[in-house]
Amino acid sequence: MISRQLIHTFFSVLLLLGMALSLAAHAEDSADASQAKQLLEALDVRSYDAKGEAIKQLAQSDLPQKGEWLEALRDGRLQRQKDGGRFVIVESDQGREWPIKDAISGEELGTATRRDLDKVRINNQLRSQLQGLAATADLDSPDTGRREAAAKRLIGEVDETTADSVAVRLEQETDGDVKARLRTALGLYRLEQGEADAIDTLRGSLDPAVRNALRPIAAGDGPLADEARTALNGIEQKLKFNRWLQTLYFGISMGSVLVLAAIGLAITFGVMGVINMAHGELIMLGAYTTFVIQQLLPGQPGLALGLSIPAGFLVAAAFGIAIERGVIRFLKGRPLETLLATFGISLILQQLVRSVFSPLNRSVVTPDWLQGSLVINDALALTLNRLAVIVFCLIVFTALMIIMRRTRLGLEVRAVTQNRTMARAMGVKAARVDILTFGLGSGIAGLAGVALSQLTNVGPNMGQSYIIDSFMVVVFGGVGNLWGTLVAGMSLGIVNQVIEPWAGAVLAKILVLAFIILFIQKRPRGLFPQKGRAAE
């Protein structure tokens, strides 16, 4: 009873709060709107002197839209509808039908032709005034993102009209990133003016404009050229380091995919000694589960993705258990036959998916919060979806480790692996352990599929492209060793990415395969061979 009341009050308070907030926002909006309207009206006067005044006023105001307006005015895209007198911004004046939006609210208003609109006219003097103002206007914005974007635009664009105001802003600026950009912008301007100490401010900047500016100077003679050369060298070093980090990142993300794909196999192949050639297709089923759930929940890719994690696990685990019960259990102790039979199953599953979903690749929507990237600097950006896959892989790996080391199931699995007969004699139900182990391994394949759907398209052939790689990872790492799988997967991923730039993707893959084939000759039991009783 009490709890219900509590919830009730809670919601009422929430509701009230929301109403208050929206009212306040509304009031602010309308105040802004009337001020904005006044400023715009002031622009649309006959006298160019008065217009100049109005532009100054606008630049000094703290309207969020002012940067956009100044730019539009400069380019002649700030116009007024003949019918109703509303101020609009022409988004593109290509062709006959121009897309327009409301200048104040930013609302899209469809299209208009030249005849429906009146341009707010300016002359050359105003144009040069606007040039500087438009570039720096956003620097006053309270939003750090906007300020940074404006500062980034300024790089290479600073001239004598804006240099002073940029310098002033640099003094006032508090945010480190914006400051760095402004310093670069100003440094480039000073460099153009031939100031030698400007190079110091440019050292270590990864902006391509800096490299372009330094290169011609470095090619010349004299002390300035030497300075420029050392600065350029420093930048190149830093750039190389960042590229190296980027390669490492791609390598780790590819390695995570390999680990996710292989770790289920490491359980079924390594722990149970069962070759499951349909493992790739279980990955595919996980990916298709994500696709289907997304189709069922249109417009909510985030929720769908969240749901597909358990669903992908369950679907793949169910298929895996069906395969174990229906086929593999009759082929105990005949690994080659198991291999063939499960290969047959993989063909059937592929064709099943082709018949049900069409042979074409399907794309799975990535939720907003997984799109985009974590920008570290100009040369290094970590894409969020890959980051998520890396984290996911580590979580799955840890969970699996805990299951194998700390739970009853893990204990029984290890017992059955080491000595099946003895384990049975001690009362372990080997058949049940088989089912659960196989379900677990297959379920993890499903999870790999869910993760993969965020990186590539989902198609009936996707399983096949992973099966050989997965086997390579397991064999390379040492059968029956989960740590080995992790190390092998990660290192193969990284090696692949390191070779790729100079050998091409295909050749890189061939080289890695050739390397593993040779490696197995040297160490047939992989990187981390099992020792003691566990080894046969």
Partner 1 sequence: MMQDVQTTSLFKERSTLLVLGALLVVTVAVTLANLLPQGHPLYVSTFTVSLLGKYLCYALLAVALDLVWGYLGILSLGHGAFFALGGYAMGMYLMRQIGARGVYGNPELPDFMVFLNWHELPWYWHGFSSFPFAMAMVLLVPGALAFVFGWLAFRSRVSGVYFSIITQALTYALMLAFYRNEMGFGGNNGLTDFKEILGADVWAEDTRRTMFIASSVALAAGYLICRAITRSRLGRLCVAVRDSEARTRFIGYRVEHVKLAVFVVSAMLAGVAGALYVPQVGIINPDQFSPLFSIELVVWVALGGRATLYGAIIGALVVNYLKTVFTGVMPEAWLFALGGLFVLVTVALPKGIAGLLRFRQGQARTAASRQEAKA
> Where on the chain is the footprint of partner 1 (CB under 8 A)?
275, 327, 330-331, 334-341, 343-348, 350-352, 354-355, 464, 468, 471-472, 475, 506-507, 509-510, 513-514, 516-518, 520-522, 524
Least gap, CB of 344 to partner 1 (angstroms): 2
Indicate the residue among 194 and 524 with the shorter CB distance to partner 1.
524
DSSP label of 266: I
Per the structure block, which two tokens stand in for 140?
């006053």
Rounded to whole angstroms, the Cα distance separating 339 from 536 reads: 20
Per the structure block, which two tokens stand in for 311?
């669903």
DSSP label of 362: B
- What are the CA-CA distances from residue 45 to residues 16, 39, 40, 192, 312 (Å)? 45, 11, 10, 39, 65
Give the amino acid at 248: L
Least gap, CB of 503 to partner 1 (angstroms): 11
Indicate the residue among 17 and 510 with the shorter CB distance to partner 1.
510
Indicate the residue among 94 and 521 with the shorter CB distance to partner 1.
521
Give the amino acid at 265: L
Q: Measure the CA angle with vertex 478, ends 445 and 313; round to 5°.
A: 10
Indicate the residue among 210 and 508 with the shorter CB distance to partner 1.
508
Least gap, CB of 303 to partner 1 (angstroms): 34
Encode 40-92 in three state secondary structure: HHHHCCCCHHHHHHHHHHHHHCCCCCHHHHHHHHHCCCEEEECCCCCEEEECC
Indicate the residue among 248 and 513 with the shorter CB distance to partner 1.
513
Least gap, CB of 467 to partner 1 (angstroms): 9
Least gap, CB of 286 to partner 1 (angstroms): 20
Indicate the residue among 431 and 510 with the shorter CB distance to partner 1.
510
Least gap, CB of 218 to partner 1 (angstroms): 36
Contacts of 164 (CB under 8 A, 6+ apart): none
Per the structure block, which two tokens stand in for 44?
């649309």
Least gap, CB of 525 to partner 1 (angstroms): 9
Residue 526's beta-bridge partner residues?
A: none
- Interhelix angle 430-452/279-296, rounded to 10 degrees, is 60
Contacts of 505 (CB under 8 A, 6+ apart): none
Q: Determine which helix (DSSP H) or strand (DSSP E) holds 381, and give its type and residue range.
A: strand 380-383
Indicate the residue among 37 and 329 with the shorter CB distance to partner 1.
329
Indicate the residue among 37 and 354 with the shorter CB distance to partner 1.
354
- Interhelix angle 335-357/301-326, rounded to 10 degrees, is 140
Q: Is 102 helix (H, G, I), strand (E, B) or coil?
A: strand
Rounded to whole angstroms, the Cα distance separating 23 from 59 reads: 29
Indicate the residue among 331 and 411 with the shorter CB distance to partner 1.
331
Encode 489-527 in three state secondary structure: HHHHHHHHHHHHHHHCHHHHHHHHHHHHHHHHHHCCCCC
Indicate the residue among 223 and 524 with the shorter CB distance to partner 1.
524
Nearest alpha carbon to residue 315 among 340, 290, 296: 290
Least gap, CB of 414 to partner 1 (angstroms): 21
Least gap, CB of 341 to partner 1 (angstroms): 4
Least gap, CB of 338 to partner 1 (angstroms): 8
Least gap, CB of 205 to partner 1 (angstroms): 39
Rounded to whole angstroms, the Cα distance separating 175 from 141 reads: 12
